[in-house]
Structure 1
Amino acid sequence: MTMTESDLRQRAARIRLACFDVDGTLTDGRLVYDGEGRETKAFHVLDGQGLKLLEENGVAVALITARRNAAVQARARDLGLQHVYTGVKDKGAVLVQLCTSLDITPDEAAHMGDDLPDLSALLQVGLAVAPANAHPWILGHVHWQTRSRGGEGAARELCDLILDAKGLRAAVLEQFGAA
Structure 2
Amino acid sequence: MTDTPASSDLTERASRVRLACFDVDGTLTDGRLTYDSGGGESKSFHVHDGQGLVLLRRAGIEVALVTARHSTVVERRAAELGVQACTGIGDKLRCVEGIARAAGVALEQVAFMGDDLPDLRVMMRVGLSACPADAHPWIHERATWRSRRPGGAGAVREFADAVLLAQGHVESIIDALLAPEPMALGTQS
Q: How many equivalent residue pairs? A: 178
- How big is each residue's C-alpha offset from its partner over 1:34-66, in whole Å with a ceiling of 9 and x where there is no partner? 121111000000000000011011000000000
Query: Hey, what's the Cα distance between the residues in 2 that align with 1:139 and 1:125?
Result: 16
- The residue number in structure 2 matching 1:48 is 50
Deviation at 1:19, TM superposition (A): 0.2
Contact preservation (8 Å) 1:131, 1:147: yes
Query: Hey, what's the Cα distance between the residues in 2 that align with 1:113 and 1:178?
Result: 36
Q: The residue matched to 2:141 in structure 1 has which SS?
A: helix
Contact preservation (8 Å) 1:16, 1:60: yes
- The residue number in structure 1 matching 2:128 is 127
Query: Hey, what's the Cα distance between the residues in 1 that align with 2:75 and 2:34?
Result: 17
- The residue number in structure 2 matching 1:137 is 138
TM-score (norm 1): 0.95
Once superposed, what is the RMSD of the aligned Cα atoms?
Answer: 1.5
Contact preservation (8 Å) 2:4, 2:146: no
Contact preservation (8 Å) 2:133, 2:140: no
User: Is 1:171 matched with 2:182?
Assistant: no
Question: Gapped runs of 5+ residues in structure 2?
Answer: 181-189
- Name the stretch that deviates more: 169-178 or 7-16: 169-178
Query: Hey, what's the Cα distance between the residues in 1 that align with 2:76 and 2:41?
Result: 13
Once the two structures are aligned, what percentage of the paired residues are identical? 49
- The residue number in structure 1 matching 2:28 is 26
